[in-house]
Structure formats: structure tokens, C-alpha cells
Amino acid sequence: MMANCQKDVITDLFRRSKETGEPVKVCAPMVRYSSLPFRHLVKLYNCDLTFTHMMLADCFSKAQSARDADFQHCKADRPLIAQFAASDPEDFAAAAKLIAPYVDGVDLNCGCPQRWAIKEGIGACMCTNSDLISRIVRRCKEVNPHLTVSVKIRILDSLEETIKLAQAIEAAGAAFISVHGRTIKERNVTPHFDYVRAIKNNVSIPVIHNGGVYSPAELGPAVESTGADGVMCAQGLLNNPALFAGHKETPLQCVQDWVNIAISYGTTFVTFKHHLVFMLENVLPKHEKKIFNNLSTIPAVLEYLDNNFGIKYQNSLPT
């Protein structure tokens, strides 16, 4: 029964999106930042679906220590997709089986452009090997027949090859596909919305657009340009976790919520402060940023927030 419910959760998200005309709003997988506390925070502000950070399937499937370090969850942390990097079908299927009771789907990362990932034969370099991606998806579906499986890709230089890649992923049994509209070599450039639209026009499964949405005003145009069923944000949500709720910059209530969530979960100082640096980027003047950046303990940060914004730790989790 649990497995069927997992699939229905994701299916229902896209069904409701079609009925309402609103895109599925997704928090992207982000190394260091897609932790349980941040996932909790964005869900308070109209985020429909969150991803874990990219985990290594081979390590996750073989070591309890890796599982403990990589994955924290709670009952409220749903719907949730666990993302894995893998180049071996058995590793991906095994990791998916272990994590299946705690998530609503698993995703194969074929979008990470970092050099270490490329050297290991995982991430974005896999986009030129649709046969391997297909074998990984198929094997996962064989081992976990009721689990939602998706793939996140980057576009290739060739539009034709990009479309073929997406079609191969669909044929392998993926429930949806997330498309970062930039190539492996592209960074801070405008995404190729036309590539994402072409994929959407040539597959029947839902397509999530990723890239180039940093504010509420950019959300609608991205959907119109791509025809995508959903929009995935990374940096935009780091800077403003309330983006999907229509806020142009991080509201102070969101900062208050982060303080309560992060401390309640026992978040490390580094992660706690990093998120605040992102959230306060457009709030603090330059001279205040220097002061804030030099704070070195949680008590010091809390004193600063109290003195400047009246924000205190309230010893409760917001819902």
C-alpha cells in the first residue's frame, strides 16, 4: 500500500497542476543546502516538491554510515524525492530500495557538471550515454516496481540529440524528467528555453524546467516559454526561500522561521549562518554585511538578529 501511495503523490501533484494551471514548484537538489531543515522551510512558502542533495548510490547502498550522514527525514518532510548519482544500475536500484519507505520517489542525477563527478563517470557526462541511463532506470523499476523514478538532465549541444535523450528516458519508464536548460559547459547564461519546450513537445511525461528563475516575476515567463509542468529553483530559493509564495525578497518572518527550524533540528553553525547570509543578501546594507559575516557563533548571530530585527529563537517548529 505504501508503494502505491508513493506513486500517487507525485502523479497527483502534476494532475493538480493541470487542473489549476499552476506549475509544480520544486526546490532543486543542492549540495550542502538541500538538508531537512531547509526543505522544511521552503515547504512553508508554497514549495510543492523538494529534492535531497545528490547522494552517491554506491556509498549509500553499502554503508550505514553514509546513509546516516547523507539522509535525515521526518514525517512532515513529504513529498520528497531522493536524488542519487550512479553509473551502475545495481547500485542505483539498491539505494532506491533502501530509501523507498521514506520518500516519494528517486531521481537519477545526470546534470551535475562538477569536474570530480565527470571524472567518476557520473552526473552530466552521462547525458551522452542514453543507453546507460535507460538501463539504470529500467533496473530500478524492476527492483522497485511501484516507486516513482525520474531523471534530471542538462541539454546537449544538439537539439535533436537532446530530444532523443528525453525520449529514451521516457521509454525506460521514468515518471517525469527535470531539464536544466544549459549545457555542461554553460554556467551563468540565459537557459535555452526553446530546448525545454522542444522536449516537452516530444514526450508525454511531465517536464520540469530548471534554470534562470531567481524571482517571482520570472516564474510565469519561464513556464510560458517552455510549456513545462513545473519549475525548479536553486539559487533563487537560497536567496529567497519565500520566492514561490510571491515575495520579492526574503520576508523577516521567513528569517524567523529559519531560526526556529534550524536550531530545533540542531543545524550546524556553518549551515545555519550560510543560509542567513543568502537570505539577508538584499536586506542588509554593505557595512552591516561585514559585521554579520564576522559573527562566529550561534549566540552571536541570535544576538545580532534580535538587536536588528527583533528575531528571537522561539523553541518551536513552524507549521
Cα gap 118→257, rounded to integer Å: 37
* pLDDT tens, position by position, 247-285: 999 999 999 999 999 999 999 999 999 999 999 999 999
**Judging by beta carbons within 10 Å of its beta carbon (0-12, 13-18, 19+), is residue 52 exposed, middle or buried?**
buried
Q: Is the pLDDT of residue 165 over 50?
A: yes
Q: Show which residues are catalytic.
A: 112
Backbone angles phi, psi at 239, to 5 degrees: -70, -30
Span 22-61, pLDDT tens digits: 999 999 999 989 999 999 999 999 999 999 999 999 999 9
Q: What is the pLDDT of residue 7?
A: 58
Rounded distance between C-alpha atoms, residue 216 and residue 5, angstroms: 31
- Between 62-71, 216-225, 302-311, the lowest mean confidence (pLDDT) is in 62-71
Total-model pTM? 0.94
- Name which residue leads in pLDDT, 87 or 8: 87
- Give the per-residue pLDDT at 273: 97
- pLDDT above 90: residue 318: no
Q: What is the pLDDT of residues 65-92, one digit of tens each?
A: 999 999 999 888 999 999 999 999 999 9
Residues 6 or more apart whose Cβ sits within 8 Å of residue 46: 25, 244, 245, 246
Amino acid type, 59 = C
Q: Which of 269, 218, 233 is nearest to 27 (CA)?
A: 233
Sign of the dihedral defined by the CA atoms of residues 277, 279, 281, 285, in that order: negative
